[in-house]
Amino acid sequence: MMKLNLLFGLTLAILISGAQMATFTVKNNCQYPIWPATLVGDPNFPQLPKTGFQLDPQAQDSLNVPSPWKGRLWARTQCSTSGGRFTCATADCGSDQIACNGKGGAPPATLAEFTIAANGGQDYYDVSLVDGFNLPLSITPQGGSGPNCTSTSCAANVNSACPPNFVVKGSDGNTIGCKSACAALNEPQYCCTGQYGSPETCKPTDYSKKFKDQCPEAYSYAYDDATSTFSCTGGPSYLITFCP
């Protein structure tokens, strides 16, 4: 009886608080399998039920997302299992499993980033190339409202315009990713660290401008907020498409 009363109390509290859940629908429009992954961005929020899964071409899967929640989603490519270890050529999370289990993707990785508000408040979302690029990606809100509640994407193949010293090649010699300037050069002005650790001191560089030219709506460096952050109110769900 005590357990039933406790369960009833928790359910009632959720209903009274107006707690909601968003849905991330993840679709693979690529011509090859991908392995999407998720990572919570705040220790106060839970990991999503799936932290890694496979999507074949044209397949899609859905994730229930509690509100509030903050985190990211990306996809790994050219993955395989050998000797009991699951590894990927790009954006590998180092868990040795399909599930990332709280580990982030190794750059280069195109990111879909979200801050989901409680009770239908204002969500924020963006496509980010701050960790480099491995796949084209779009985010489309389903429902919600606001002047900036629109689709955003990096639909271009940034790999085709990648600076030669930023290129990541696969085992077949083809380009499979493009490092960020921070990852490739590891200097404060490109990483927005040290004396460059503020919006006033960390400005666009020739390298970040190359990313911005390819994907004007995506984050090209850490403080690229003005043209790259989107928002919706009203508790929408989101369609996240790889190779849109």
Q: What is the mean pLDDT of the chain?
A: 92
Kindly tell me if the per-residue pLDDT of 98 is higher than 50. yes
Neighbours of 41 (CB within 10 A): 13
Kindly tell me if the per-residue pLDDT of 16 is higher than 90. no
The identity of residue 67, as a single letter, is S
Kindly tell me if the per-residue pLDDT of 4 is higher than 60. no
DSSP state of 235: -
Place of tokens 């404060």: 188
Q: What is the pLDDT of residues 54-69, one digit of tens each?
A: 999 999 999 999 999 9
Kindly tell me if the per-residue pLDDT of 15 is higher than 70. no
Predicted local distance difference test score (pLDDT) of residue 1: 44
Predicted local distance difference test score (pLDDT) of residue 108: 98
Give the residue-averaged pLDDT of 222-230: 95
* Residue 162: band (very low, low, confident or very high) from pLDDT cuts 50, 70, 90: very high
Bridge partners of residue 142, in order along the sequence: 237
Predicted local distance difference test score (pLDDT) of residue 62: 97
Q: Which fold would CATH assign to domain 20-157+217-242?
A: Thaumatin (2.60.110)
Element (H, E) at 210: helix 206-214
Pairwise CA distance, residues 155 & 83, whole Å? 35
Distant-in-sequence, close-in-space partners of 123: CB < 8 Å, separation ≥ 6: 22, 114, 115, 116, 117, 141, 144, 231, 232, 233, 235, 236
Q: What is the pLDDT of residues 19-46, one digit of tens each?
A: 578 999 999 999 999 999 999 999 889 9
Distant-in-sequence, close-in-space partners of 237: CB < 8 Å, separation ≥ 6: 22, 23, 24, 25, 141, 142, 143
3-state secondary structure of 19: coil
Pairwise CA distance, residues 190 & 122, whole Å? 30
pLDDT above 70: percentage of residues in the chain: 92
Predicted local distance difference test score (pLDDT) of residue 21: 86
Pairwise CA distance, residues 143 & 99, whole Å? 29
Predicted local distance difference test score (pLDDT) of residue 20: 73
Pairwise CA distance, residues 163 & 175, whole Å? 11
Give the residue-averaged pLDDT of 215-235: 96
